[in-house]
């Protein structure tokens, strides 16, 4: 597929615009933040069967997927979200690196910098929100899912891992990332490992031999 204007990756200004549109959504809508939205889109794209946009797009404007108020104009917000979705879809399908939307946190009041796991937690929370809304990925019976899922879940506080009891032993063995760059690399690596199971690529076909 050739990149047209609609499928261009979002630039910094457009990403800022999307963030502003999300923040401006009126109550009672409770939108995902920008990083969580990015993780959510990856979780949607890793499902074993493609999910119609009508089913997942509403979660961008409300974490519960509730219908927006009548008359609320969402065309621009939806257009930006769909472009990011298309960008991630191309990268995952080709098993190529993508840049997760992970943003720096300010040090706390004591001057302590956030841990790498805390930096990527909003992204992972959005990813897990997608698996909660669309659990087909988790229903695949394949041991190859365990390690990448455990690495992602390990970014949560152990007390928040009620839904990952079957992975707890594996999670306990995982060393926390030493840097934000390593934590971000884990997001991409694990996403592509999950795609190998849930969205395997068709084997390349060789041309017939000439007789």
Closest CA to 136 of 54, 60, 194: 194
pLDDT for residue 172: 87
Residue 149 has pLDDT above 90, yes or no: yes
pLDDT for residue 16: 97
What pTM, to 2 d.p., does this model score? 0.90
Count of other CB atoms within 10 angstroms of residue 129 = 21
pLDDT tens, position by position, 20-79: 999 999 999 999 999 999 999 999 999 999 999 999 999 999 999 999 998 999 999 999
The fold for domain 5-101+114-198 equals: 1.20.120
- Residue with more model confidence, 5 or 168: 168
Q: Which residues of 130-152 are buried (b: 16+ CB within 10 A; e: fewer)?
A: bbebbeebeeeeeeebeebbbbb
Distance in angstroms (rounded) separating the CA atoms of residues 85 and 156: 25
The residue ranges of every structural domain in the chain are 5-101+114-198
pLDDT tens, position by position, 176-199: 999 999 999 999 999 999 999 999
């Amino acid at each position: 597929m050739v990149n047209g204007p609609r499928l261009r990756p979002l630039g910094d200004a457009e990403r800022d615009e999307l963030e502003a549109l999300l923040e401006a959504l009126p109550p009672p809508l409770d939108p995902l933040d920008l990083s969580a939205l990015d993780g959510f889109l990856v979780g949607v794209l890793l499902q074993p069967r493609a999910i119609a946009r009508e089913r997942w797009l509403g979660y961008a404007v409300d974490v519960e997927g509730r219908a927006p108020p009548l008359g609320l104009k969402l065309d621009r917000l939806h257009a930006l979200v769909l472009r990011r979705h298309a960008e991630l879809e191309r990268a995952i399908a080709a098993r190529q690196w993508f840049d997760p939307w992970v943003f720096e946190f300010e040090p706390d009041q004591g001057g302590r910098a956030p841990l790498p796991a805390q930096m990527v937690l909003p992204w992972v929370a959005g990813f897990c929100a997608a698996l909660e809304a669309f659990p087909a990925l988790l229903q695949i019976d394949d041991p190859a899912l365990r390690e990448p899922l455990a690495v992602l879940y390990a970014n949560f506080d152990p007390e928040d891992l009620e839904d990952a009891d079957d992975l707890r032993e594996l999670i306990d063995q995982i060393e926390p990332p030493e840097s934000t760059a390593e934590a971000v690399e884990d997001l991409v690596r694990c996403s592509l490992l999950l795609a190998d199971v849930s969205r395997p690529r068709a084997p390349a076909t060789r041309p017939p031999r000439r007789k």
